[in-house]
Amino acid sequence: MELMANGVHYHIEVSGDETLPVLVLLHGFTGSTATWKTVIENWRDYRIVAIDLNGHGQTESPADESRYAMERQLDDLDFIFKEMKLEKFTLLGYSMGGRTALGYACEFPDRIDQLILESASPGLKTEAAREERRERDAQLAINIVDGGLEQFVEKWENIPLFASQKFLSEHVRQQIRQERLAQSVLGLANSLKGMGTGSQRSYWDCLPELDMPVLLVTGELDSKFCAIAREMEELLPNAEHRIISAGHAIHVEKPAEFATMVMERLNGINEED
């Protein structure tokens, strides 16, 4: 389905009956709703709402940089949820989508039944760290615009964060590559500058206030995000940290294991209710 949220045209893919409990999915940077196709088939007991975030997939890529600020993305999501009459739901986000999901839970906690964060962080703690990251992301945005999408994707898929993906089958690696190549140069550049880790506010101080159940999932090979998740678990009142033998993109590298873990979590919480 297509929906206009605060002047931006969003692409949303919905599956499952309206009577089912809702699971909302938010992809990572350079991703889209396509990233979830392998795992969605395992979640037939839920109504799945997968959203292309601002500047990604088939959602519009506005020219105005300020339109990509995290606060405005969160407002867009809240508008979408209200339009779709989603009163309470589970929110699952991966990487950039995980930061977005956490931000939404901090701003609109009453809407969330539970939160599932895959390879996510609450942002950077200090202004100095955010400034340094903003500078790096601004340069990367320039490189995307100047060098073009193919050159950027070639470099992006070879960064250390995705090293474990080199062991995936050729078919899967080509699917990931095509998803990245289907992006908009303007959308990616503006997303980096508007809602990158250095541009968003830090949500570390919000963690102790989140009392909904939170599942933190990280890949064993992704030591940076495992450490972040351990620190988050200490601060969250109702959190569990699970580790899967994978890298950063667990749902891509170990889809069946990831899907099973999420489903067990969803069913377990619902049984308690």
What are the residues whose beta carbons fall under 8 Å from the beta carbon of 214, sequence distance 6 or more? 114, 115, 116, 117, 236, 238, 239, 240
Give the pLDDT score at 269.
Answer: 55
Pull the structure tokens for residue 18. 């309206």
Domains of the chain with bracketed CATH: 2-272 (3.40.50.1820)
Q: Which residues contact 271 (CB under 8 A, 6 or more apart)?
A: none
What pLDDT digit, counting tens, does each position of 165-211 carry? Answer: 999 999 999 999 999 999 999 999 999 999 999 999 999 999 999 99
Q: Which residues of 22-39 are buried (b: 16+ CB within 10 A; e: fewer)?
A: bbbbbbbbbbbbbbbebb
pLDDT of residue 267: 87
From CA 141, how far away is CA 42, in angstroms rounded? Answer: 36
* pLDDT at 268 (0 to 100): 80
Asked whether the beta carbons of 257 and 249 are under 8 A apart, the reply is no
Residue 229: its pLDDT value, please? 98
- Model's pTM, two decimal places? 0.96
What's the pLDDT tens digit per position in 110-123?
999 999 999 999 99
Question: Which residue ranges in the chain fall short of pLDDT 50?
Answer: 270-273
